[in-house]
Structure 1
């Protein structure tokens, strides 16, 4: 599994992931920018107004309360960006090869110590997206068939990624392994 990287995006801390898929940009756009596509792999059910300045709502995550954000960029089929709590998520798509697509997911962090936690979560989610785009059953990141979050988190902490943020839905005694 390709792990994400930690760095900065426009001067803010961020985790970044890249994936290349053997599908055209339009196919991957449907998976990452529509409520129907996101339902297979994103941690919350999503409703969105598909326009810059539109509202995006998140619900159904067993570890978080429903919330809303703002669509900050909507440029089909190349870029979707929105706020989620203190974070910003950016899904960038570009052609890769003759018929493929490169997805770049950047999670601009509201808090630096959330890097390892969020990176582990996105690793689980992206594994579900990989399944969905491959035509396999993808039951979402909270399903019994999803990757286990904790070993991924521990790998990110061991790599030196900033950590220590609380983990929603996890008792404090099982909470994050402290690192940097």
Structure 2
């Protein structure tokens, strides 16, 4: 007997199964959210990996750097699928690593390191992997969407919404820190 892959939920529910099951998503499917000028699409969450990791994409036009932040217990990777993305990370000695990643480049931010990023090309797409659970931060801080494009106007959460999402998803903002000039 051959098992079937789970397919996306019908009727507006999450396209993710919510537990460890084999499944597939077609291009553009996933849990989508707009935050700032970016479209985040969660492809795999901590729910499907027993909390081990999550996978998402980010697509955005050239814009401002996201606020400097850190995650005490969340590791994060950036893999550039298309375009150029500047990633800046504080190293262990208080210095900074500043690198423009281009298509096919990979960057890793260990837990606890302050970091930020900014799209440097006309448009960019990245694949992100993080410690399980954090991938849901984007929808909590921004707004869920059915769109497959970045927002026409930036989605800027209220300080209360951003603060609540940060607490729930282990994200600490450092608004006084400036890593990108």
Please say whether Structure 1 and Structure 2 have the same fold, judged by a TM-score greater than 0.5.
Answer: no
Instruction: Give the TM-score normalised by structure 1.
Output: 0.33
Q: Find the structure with the greater CA-based Rg.
A: 2
Q: Specify which structure has the higher proportion of strand.
A: 2
Q: Which has the higher contact order (CA 8 A, sep 6+)?
A: 2
Give the TM-score taking structure 2 as reference length: 0.33
> Which one has a larger percent helix, Structure 1 or Structure 2?
1
